[in-house]
Structure 1
Amino acid sequence: MTKSKSFSARTLDANALKSFAHPLRLRIYELLDQRGPSTATGLAAILGQNTGATSYHLRELARHGMIEIAEGMGRGKEKYWRIVPGGFTYGDTPPDAEAASALEFLLDDLVRQRGAELAKWREAATRAPAEWVAASGFGRRSLRLTTQETAELRDEVLEVLERYRSISDRRDGEAAAGHELPMGHVVIHFDVLPLGAVPDEPS
Protein backbone atom coordinates (compact mmCIF):
# COMPACT_ATOMS: atom_id res chain seq x y z
CA MET A 1 0.00 0.00 0.00
CA THR A 2 1.45 3.37 -1.05
CA LYS A 3 1.61 5.85 1.83
CA SER A 4 0.06 9.28 1.45
CA LYS A 5 2.22 12.13 0.15
CA SER A 6 3.46 14.77 2.58
CA PHE A 7 5.06 17.09 0.03
CA SER A 8 3.04 20.09 -1.11
CA ALA A 9 4.24 21.34 -4.48
CA ARG A 10 1.44 23.14 -6.30
CA THR A 11 0.30 21.72 -9.65
CA LEU A 12 -0.02 24.34 -12.38
CA ASP A 13 -3.43 24.46 -14.05
CA ALA A 14 -3.95 24.79 -17.80
CA ASN A 15 -4.05 28.60 -17.75
CA ALA A 16 -0.84 28.82 -15.72
CA LEU A 17 0.89 26.41 -18.12
CA LYS A 18 -0.10 28.53 -21.11
CA SER A 19 1.10 31.71 -19.45
CA PHE A 20 4.37 30.24 -18.21
CA ALA A 21 5.31 28.79 -21.62
CA HIS A 22 6.88 32.03 -22.76
CA PRO A 23 10.67 32.36 -23.28
CA LEU A 24 11.03 35.67 -21.45
CA ARG A 25 8.86 34.61 -18.50
CA LEU A 26 10.84 31.41 -18.16
CA ARG A 27 14.08 33.41 -18.16
CA ILE A 28 12.72 35.88 -15.58
CA TYR A 29 11.63 33.02 -13.32
CA GLU A 30 15.03 31.35 -13.77
CA LEU A 31 16.86 34.56 -12.81
CA LEU A 32 14.71 35.07 -9.70
CA ASP A 33 15.41 31.47 -8.73
CA GLN A 34 19.16 31.81 -9.27
CA ARG A 35 19.78 35.31 -7.93
CA GLY A 36 16.98 35.90 -5.45
CA PRO A 37 14.56 38.87 -5.29
CA SER A 38 14.92 41.54 -7.96
CA THR A 39 13.11 44.50 -9.49
CA ALA A 40 11.71 44.96 -12.97
CA THR A 41 14.50 47.47 -13.61
CA GLY A 42 17.22 45.09 -12.46
CA LEU A 43 15.85 42.23 -14.56
CA ALA A 44 15.49 44.51 -17.59
CA ALA A 45 19.19 45.41 -17.39
CA ILE A 46 20.21 41.73 -17.30
CA LEU A 47 17.84 40.69 -20.10
CA GLY A 48 18.37 43.68 -22.40
CA GLN A 49 14.67 44.53 -22.21
CA ASN A 50 12.83 47.71 -21.27
CA THR A 51 11.34 47.97 -17.80
CA GLY A 52 7.80 48.07 -19.19
CA ALA A 53 8.25 44.61 -20.73
CA THR A 54 9.72 43.02 -17.62
CA SER A 55 7.03 44.67 -15.44
CA TYR A 56 4.31 43.17 -17.64
CA HIS A 57 5.79 39.67 -17.54
CA LEU A 58 6.34 39.89 -13.78
CA ARG A 59 2.67 40.77 -13.31
CA GLU A 60 1.68 37.79 -15.49
CA LEU A 61 3.83 35.44 -13.43
CA ALA A 62 2.33 36.88 -10.25
CA ARG A 63 -1.21 36.55 -11.61
CA HIS A 64 -0.72 32.79 -11.83
CA GLY A 65 0.92 32.48 -8.42
CA MET A 66 4.47 31.84 -9.67
CA ILE A 67 6.05 34.87 -8.00
CA GLU A 68 5.11 37.44 -5.37
CA ILE A 69 6.27 40.77 -3.97
CA ALA A 70 9.14 40.37 -1.50
CA GLU A 71 7.86 42.28 1.51
CA GLY A 72 10.31 44.51 3.37
CA MET A 73 12.49 45.19 0.35
CA GLY A 74 12.65 48.28 -1.83
CA ARG A 75 11.99 51.96 -1.18
CA GLY A 76 8.89 53.95 -2.05
CA LYS A 77 7.08 52.36 -4.98
CA GLU A 78 10.03 50.11 -5.85
CA LYS A 79 8.94 46.46 -5.91
CA TYR A 80 11.17 43.45 -5.41
CA TRP A 81 9.79 40.15 -6.70
CA ARG A 82 10.61 36.66 -5.50
CA ILE A 83 9.66 33.06 -6.25
CA VAL A 84 6.57 31.88 -4.36
CA PRO A 85 7.70 29.37 -1.70
CA GLY A 86 6.59 25.76 -2.10
CA GLY A 87 7.59 25.03 -5.65
CA PHE A 88 5.34 23.63 -8.35
CA THR A 89 4.83 20.64 -10.59
CA TYR A 90 3.52 20.42 -14.13
CA GLY A 91 1.23 17.48 -13.33
CA ASP A 92 -0.36 15.21 -15.93
CA THR A 93 -1.13 15.93 -19.58
CA PRO A 94 -3.62 18.85 -19.73
CA PRO A 95 -7.09 18.35 -21.22
CA ASP A 96 -6.87 20.86 -24.10
CA ALA A 97 -4.45 20.98 -27.02
CA GLU A 98 -3.11 24.48 -26.32
CA ALA A 99 -2.19 23.63 -22.73
CA ALA A 100 -0.69 20.29 -23.86
CA SER A 101 1.48 22.18 -26.35
CA ALA A 102 2.55 24.58 -23.58
CA LEU A 103 3.49 21.62 -21.39
CA GLU A 104 5.66 20.17 -24.18
CA PHE A 105 7.43 23.53 -24.50
CA LEU A 106 8.01 23.70 -20.73
CA LEU A 107 9.33 20.13 -20.52
CA ASP A 108 11.72 20.77 -23.41
CA ASP A 109 12.96 23.90 -21.61
CA LEU A 110 13.37 21.89 -18.40
CA VAL A 111 15.63 19.42 -20.23
CA ARG A 112 17.61 22.35 -21.66
CA GLN A 113 17.98 24.00 -18.26
CA ARG A 114 19.13 20.81 -16.57
CA GLY A 115 21.72 20.17 -19.25
CA ALA A 116 22.99 23.74 -18.93
CA GLU A 117 23.20 23.50 -15.14
CA LEU A 118 25.07 20.19 -15.24
CA ALA A 119 27.54 21.58 -17.78
CA LYS A 120 27.97 24.78 -15.73
CA TRP A 121 28.81 22.85 -12.56
CA ARG A 122 31.22 20.52 -14.39
CA GLU A 123 33.17 23.62 -15.39
CA ALA A 124 32.67 25.62 -12.19
CA ALA A 125 33.63 22.75 -9.84
CA THR A 126 37.30 23.28 -10.71
CA ARG A 127 37.07 26.78 -9.18
CA ALA A 128 34.57 26.16 -6.37
CA PRO A 129 35.53 26.06 -2.65
CA ALA A 130 36.60 22.56 -1.61
CA GLU A 131 33.79 22.20 0.94
CA TRP A 132 31.13 22.82 -1.73
CA VAL A 133 32.76 20.33 -4.11
CA ALA A 134 32.79 17.75 -1.30
CA ALA A 135 29.10 18.41 -0.59
CA SER A 136 28.07 18.08 -4.26
CA GLY A 137 27.43 14.89 -6.20
CA PHE A 138 26.40 13.37 -9.49
CA GLY A 139 24.16 10.33 -9.28
CA ARG A 140 22.46 7.82 -11.54
CA ARG A 141 20.83 4.50 -10.66
CA SER A 142 19.27 1.88 -12.92
CA LEU A 143 16.82 -0.32 -10.99
CA ARG A 144 14.28 -3.07 -11.67
CA LEU A 145 11.11 -2.10 -9.81
CA THR A 146 7.35 -2.60 -9.95
CA THR A 147 5.03 0.31 -10.70
CA GLN A 148 4.13 0.58 -7.01
CA GLU A 149 7.77 0.53 -5.89
CA THR A 150 8.61 3.19 -8.45
CA ALA A 151 5.85 5.49 -7.17
CA GLU A 152 6.90 4.88 -3.55
CA LEU A 153 10.54 5.68 -4.34
CA ARG A 154 9.50 8.90 -6.09
CA ASP A 155 7.30 10.01 -3.21
CA GLU A 156 9.90 9.23 -0.54
CA VAL A 157 12.59 11.24 -2.33
CA LEU A 158 10.16 14.13 -2.86
CA GLU A 159 9.36 14.09 0.86
CA VAL A 160 13.07 14.52 1.66
CA LEU A 161 13.32 17.36 -0.85
CA GLU A 162 10.23 18.96 0.69
CA ARG A 163 11.87 18.94 4.13
CA TYR A 164 14.91 20.82 2.85
CA ARG A 165 12.75 23.10 0.70
CA SER A 166 10.92 24.18 3.87
CA ILE A 167 14.26 25.06 5.49
CA SER A 168 15.23 27.03 2.37
CA ASP A 169 11.90 28.88 2.27
CA ARG A 170 12.32 30.00 5.88
CA ARG A 171 15.77 31.37 5.06
CA ASP A 172 14.39 33.16 2.01
CA GLY A 173 11.95 34.91 4.32
CA GLU A 174 14.76 35.98 6.63
CA ALA A 175 16.79 37.26 3.64
CA ALA A 176 13.75 39.20 2.39
CA ALA A 177 13.55 40.87 5.80
CA GLY A 178 17.11 42.13 5.39
CA HIS A 179 19.17 39.33 6.97
CA GLU A 180 22.24 38.29 5.03
CA LEU A 181 23.05 34.60 5.41
CA PRO A 182 26.08 32.85 3.89
CA MET A 183 24.16 30.37 1.77
CA GLY A 184 24.76 28.81 -1.62
CA HIS A 185 22.19 28.37 -4.39
CA VAL A 186 21.94 24.57 -4.60
CA VAL A 187 20.16 22.86 -7.50
CA ILE A 188 18.89 19.29 -7.16
CA HIS A 189 17.94 17.32 -10.27
CA PHE A 190 15.63 14.37 -9.68
CA ASP A 191 13.91 12.30 -12.36
CA VAL A 192 12.15 8.95 -12.36
CA LEU A 193 12.15 7.61 -15.93
CA PRO A 194 10.57 4.17 -16.51
CA LEU A 195 12.29 3.81 -19.90
CA GLY A 196 11.98 0.02 -19.92
CA ALA A 197 8.18 0.31 -19.89
CA VAL A 198 8.22 1.89 -23.37
CA PRO A 199 8.73 -0.46 -26.34
CA ASP A 200 11.64 0.41 -28.61
CA GLU A 201 10.63 2.03 -31.87
CA PRO A 202 11.11 -0.27 -34.87
CA SER A 203 14.31 0.55 -36.74
Structure 2
Amino acid sequence: MERKSFSARALDAHTLKSFAHPTRLRLYELLDAGGPSTATRLAEHLHENTGVTSYHLRELAKHGMIEQVPGLGKGKEKYWRVTPGGYSVGPPPDDEPETASAIEILTDHVVHHRATELTRWREEESTLPPEWKEAGGLSRRSLRLTPEETITLSHQIQEILTTYRTLSDHRESETPLVPPPDTTRVVIHFDVLPAHPEGTPQ
Protein backbone atom coordinates (compact mmCIF):
# COMPACT_ATOMS: atom_id res chain seq x y z
CA MET A 1 0.00 0.00 0.00
CA GLU A 2 1.31 3.46 -0.89
CA ARG A 3 2.24 5.64 2.05
CA LYS A 4 0.68 9.09 2.11
CA SER A 5 2.31 12.17 3.56
CA PHE A 6 0.03 14.46 5.52
CA SER A 7 2.87 16.86 6.21
CA ALA A 8 3.64 19.98 4.21
CA ARG A 9 6.71 18.12 2.99
CA ALA A 10 8.73 14.98 3.43
CA LEU A 11 12.34 15.76 4.27
CA ASP A 12 14.84 14.86 1.58
CA ALA A 13 18.31 13.48 2.32
CA HIS A 14 20.06 16.85 2.11
CA THR A 15 17.59 18.50 4.50
CA LEU A 16 17.77 15.58 6.93
CA LYS A 17 21.56 15.82 7.15
CA SER A 18 21.34 19.55 7.84
CA PHE A 19 18.47 19.28 10.33
CA ALA A 20 20.07 16.51 12.41
CA HIS A 21 22.22 18.98 14.33
CA PRO A 22 21.74 19.50 18.10
CA THR A 23 21.50 23.31 17.95
CA ARG A 24 19.13 23.30 14.97
CA LEU A 25 16.90 20.69 16.53
CA ARG A 26 16.74 22.74 19.74
CA LEU A 27 16.00 25.97 17.87
CA TYR A 28 13.21 24.25 15.98
CA GLU A 29 11.76 22.96 19.28
CA LEU A 30 11.87 26.43 20.84
CA LEU A 31 10.08 28.01 17.88
CA ASP A 32 7.54 25.18 17.76
CA ALA A 33 6.78 25.43 21.47
CA GLY A 34 6.97 29.18 21.97
CA GLY A 35 5.98 30.68 18.64
CA PRO A 36 7.86 33.34 16.66
CA SER A 37 11.11 34.65 18.09
CA THR A 38 14.35 36.38 17.15
CA ALA A 39 17.95 35.18 17.04
CA THR A 40 18.72 37.34 20.08
CA ARG A 41 15.94 35.90 22.25
CA LEU A 42 16.71 32.36 21.16
CA ALA A 43 20.38 32.90 21.96
CA GLU A 44 19.40 33.75 25.55
CA HIS A 45 17.52 30.44 25.85
CA LEU A 46 20.48 28.47 24.52
CA HIS A 47 23.15 30.52 26.34
CA GLU A 48 24.81 31.14 22.99
CA ASN A 49 25.78 34.30 21.17
CA THR A 50 23.50 35.77 18.53
CA GLY A 51 25.95 34.96 15.75
CA VAL A 52 25.59 31.23 16.45
CA THR A 53 21.79 31.26 16.53
CA SER A 54 21.60 33.51 13.46
CA TYR A 55 23.74 31.08 11.48
CA HIS A 56 21.71 28.03 12.44
CA LEU A 57 18.42 29.84 11.86
CA ARG A 58 19.56 30.71 8.34
CA GLU A 59 20.44 27.07 7.75
CA LEU A 60 17.00 25.96 8.94
CA ALA A 61 15.38 28.56 6.69
CA LYS A 62 17.51 27.51 3.71
CA HIS A 63 16.01 24.04 3.95
CA GLY A 64 12.46 25.26 4.51
CA MET A 65 12.17 24.19 8.14
CA ILE A 66 11.46 27.73 9.37
CA GLU A 67 10.54 31.04 7.76
CA GLN A 68 10.51 34.75 8.52
CA VAL A 69 7.29 36.21 9.86
CA PRO A 70 6.08 38.99 7.53
CA GLY A 71 5.48 42.36 9.18
CA LEU A 72 7.33 41.62 12.42
CA GLY A 73 10.63 43.07 13.53
CA LYS A 74 12.24 46.48 13.19
CA GLY A 75 15.28 47.28 11.09
CA LYS A 76 17.49 44.21 10.80
CA GLU A 77 15.55 42.36 13.48
CA LYS A 78 13.89 39.21 12.11
CA TYR A 79 11.21 37.06 13.66
CA TRP A 80 11.30 33.39 12.75
CA ARG A 81 8.62 30.74 12.98
CA VAL A 82 8.26 27.06 12.14
CA THR A 83 7.06 26.59 8.59
CA PRO A 84 3.34 25.71 8.78
CA GLY A 85 2.53 22.05 8.24
CA GLY A 86 5.51 20.43 9.88
CA TYR A 87 7.49 17.62 8.33
CA SER A 88 7.61 13.87 7.93
CA VAL A 89 10.46 11.36 7.76
CA GLY A 90 10.31 8.09 5.90
CA PRO A 91 12.09 4.83 6.73
CA PRO A 92 15.91 4.95 6.59
CA PRO A 93 17.34 3.94 3.20
CA ASP A 94 19.60 0.87 3.13
CA ASP A 95 21.97 2.29 0.53
CA GLU A 96 22.52 5.76 2.05
CA PRO A 97 24.34 5.40 5.39
CA GLU A 98 24.68 9.16 5.95
CA THR A 99 20.95 9.70 5.50
CA ALA A 100 20.16 6.70 7.69
CA SER A 101 22.44 8.12 10.38
CA ALA A 102 20.70 11.52 10.19
CA ILE A 103 17.31 9.79 10.58
CA GLU A 104 18.61 7.92 13.63
CA ILE A 105 19.81 11.16 15.23
CA LEU A 106 16.49 12.87 14.52
CA THR A 107 14.45 9.90 15.77
CA ASP A 108 16.47 9.58 18.97
CA HIS A 109 16.05 13.30 19.57
CA VAL A 110 12.27 13.11 19.04
CA VAL A 111 11.96 10.13 21.41
CA HIS A 112 13.96 11.93 24.10
CA HIS A 113 11.96 15.13 23.64
CA ARG A 114 8.66 13.27 23.90
CA ALA A 115 9.78 11.64 27.14
CA THR A 116 10.68 15.09 28.49
CA GLU A 117 7.27 16.49 27.49
CA LEU A 118 5.41 13.58 29.09
CA THR A 119 7.41 13.95 32.30
CA ARG A 120 6.66 17.69 32.41
CA TRP A 121 2.93 17.06 31.84
CA ARG A 122 2.85 14.42 34.58
CA GLU A 123 4.54 16.79 37.04
CA GLU A 124 2.30 19.76 36.19
CA GLU A 125 -1.03 17.96 35.73
CA SER A 126 -2.28 18.56 39.27
CA THR A 127 -1.81 22.34 38.90
CA LEU A 128 -3.68 22.69 35.60
CA PRO A 129 -7.10 24.40 35.38
CA PRO A 130 -9.99 21.89 35.45
CA GLU A 131 -10.82 22.34 31.75
CA TRP A 132 -7.27 21.50 30.73
CA LYS A 133 -7.13 18.51 33.08
CA GLU A 134 -10.18 17.18 31.28
CA ALA A 135 -8.80 18.03 27.83
CA GLY A 136 -5.42 16.38 28.38
CA GLY A 137 -4.69 12.72 28.83
CA LEU A 138 -2.48 9.76 28.10
CA SER A 139 -3.68 6.61 26.39
CA ARG A 140 -2.24 3.44 24.93
CA ARG A 141 -3.79 0.66 22.85
CA SER A 142 -2.37 -2.63 21.70
CA LEU A 143 -4.19 -3.99 18.63
CA ARG A 144 -3.73 -7.06 16.46
CA LEU A 145 -3.67 -5.72 12.89
CA THR A 146 -2.20 -6.44 9.48
CA PRO A 147 0.30 -4.01 7.94
CA GLU A 148 -2.40 -2.76 5.56
CA GLU A 149 -4.86 -2.14 8.40
CA THR A 150 -2.18 -0.36 10.42
CA ILE A 151 -1.38 1.96 7.51
CA THR A 152 -5.10 2.70 7.01
CA LEU A 153 -5.47 3.49 10.72
CA SER A 154 -2.50 5.86 10.54
CA HIS A 155 -3.94 7.63 7.49
CA GLN A 156 -7.31 8.16 9.18
CA ILE A 157 -5.74 9.63 12.31
CA GLN A 158 -3.43 11.84 10.26
CA GLU A 159 -6.43 13.18 8.32
CA ILE A 160 -8.04 14.27 11.60
CA LEU A 161 -4.79 15.85 12.80
CA THR A 162 -4.46 17.70 9.49
CA THR A 163 -7.86 19.34 10.04
CA TYR A 164 -6.80 20.76 13.41
CA ARG A 165 -3.31 21.60 12.19
CA THR A 166 -4.86 23.75 9.47
CA LEU A 167 -6.99 25.52 12.09
CA SER A 168 -3.94 26.12 14.28
CA ASP A 169 -1.81 27.38 11.37
CA HIS A 170 -4.55 29.86 10.44
CA ARG A 171 -4.72 31.24 13.99
CA GLU A 172 -0.98 31.63 14.23
CA SER A 173 -0.83 33.41 10.89
CA GLU A 174 -3.48 35.92 12.00
CA THR A 175 -1.92 36.77 15.38
CA PRO A 176 1.63 35.39 15.51
CA LEU A 177 2.68 37.11 18.75
CA VAL A 178 -0.68 37.41 20.56
CA PRO A 179 -2.53 34.07 20.50
CA PRO A 180 -6.25 34.01 21.36
CA PRO A 181 -6.66 34.08 25.16
CA ASP A 182 -8.72 30.87 25.34
CA THR A 183 -6.10 28.77 23.53
CA THR A 184 -2.85 27.13 24.53
CA ARG A 185 -0.30 25.11 22.63
CA VAL A 186 -1.34 21.45 22.66
CA VAL A 187 1.12 18.62 22.05
CA ILE A 188 -0.16 15.48 20.30
CA HIS A 189 2.08 12.42 20.36
CA PHE A 190 1.13 9.80 17.79
CA ASP A 191 3.22 6.67 17.35
CA VAL A 192 2.49 3.40 15.59
CA LEU A 193 5.03 0.64 16.03
CA PRO A 194 5.04 -3.16 15.98
CA ALA A 195 5.18 -4.77 19.41
CA HIS A 196 7.55 -7.44 18.04
CA PRO A 197 10.11 -5.56 15.92
CA GLU A 198 11.91 -8.74 14.80
CA GLY A 199 9.27 -9.02 12.11
CA THR A 200 7.95 -12.46 13.05
CA PRO A 201 4.15 -12.56 13.58
CA GLN A 202 3.18 -13.72 17.09
Short-chain TM bin = over 0.9
Matched, 1:76 2:75: yes
Counterpart amino acid of 2:185? Answer: H
RMSD between aligned residues: 1.8
For the structure 1 residues 197 and 112, does the alpha-carbon distance in structure 2 shift closer, same or farther, using more than 3 Å as the test? closer
Report how many aligned residue pairs link the two structures: 198
Cα deviation digits, residues 16-65 of structure 1 (max 9, x gap): 11101111111100000111000000001111000000000000000000
Counterpart amino acid of 2:184? Answer: G
Counterpart amino acid of 1:62? Answer: A
SS across alignment from 1:120: helix
Residue of structure 2 in register with 1:196 after alignment? 196
**Deviation of residue 153 (structure 1)?**
0.3
SS across alignment from 2:81: strand
**Deviation of residue 196 (structure 1)?**
3.0
Matched, 1:169 2:149: no
In structure 2, runs of 5+ residues without a counterpart are none
SS across alignment from 1:73: coil
Q: Distance in 1 between matches of 2:47 and 2:199?
A: 45
Residue of structure 2 in register with 1:108 after alignment? 108
SS across alignment from 1:87: coil
SS across alignment from 2:127: coil
Counterpart amino acid of 2:27? Answer: I
**Deviation of residue 179 (structure 1)?**
4.9
Q: Distance in 2 between matches of 1:29 and 1:6?
A: 20
SS across alignment from 1:82: strand
Q: Distance in 2 between matches of 1:73 and 1:113?
A: 29
Matched, 1:123 2:123: yes
Of 53-62 and 5-14, the range deviating more from structure 2 = 5-14
- TM-score normalised according to structure 1 size: 0.92
In structure 1, runs of 5+ residues without a counterpart are none
**Deviation of residue 88 (structure 1)?**
0.4
Q: Identity of aligned pairs, percent?
A: 56
Q: Distance in 2 between matches of 1:105 and 1:179?
A: 34
Matched, 1:160 2:154: no
1:50-61 → structure 2 map (5 Å cutoff)? 50-61=49-60
For the structure 1 residues 64 and 6, does the alpha-carbon distance in structure 2 shift closer, same or farther, using more than 3 Å as the test? closer
Contact 2:72 2:78 survives alignment (8 Å):
yes
Q: Distance in 1 between matches of 2:157 and 2:99?
A: 28
**Deviation of residue 195 (structure 1)?**
2.1
Contact 1:5 1:159 survives alignment (8 Å):
no
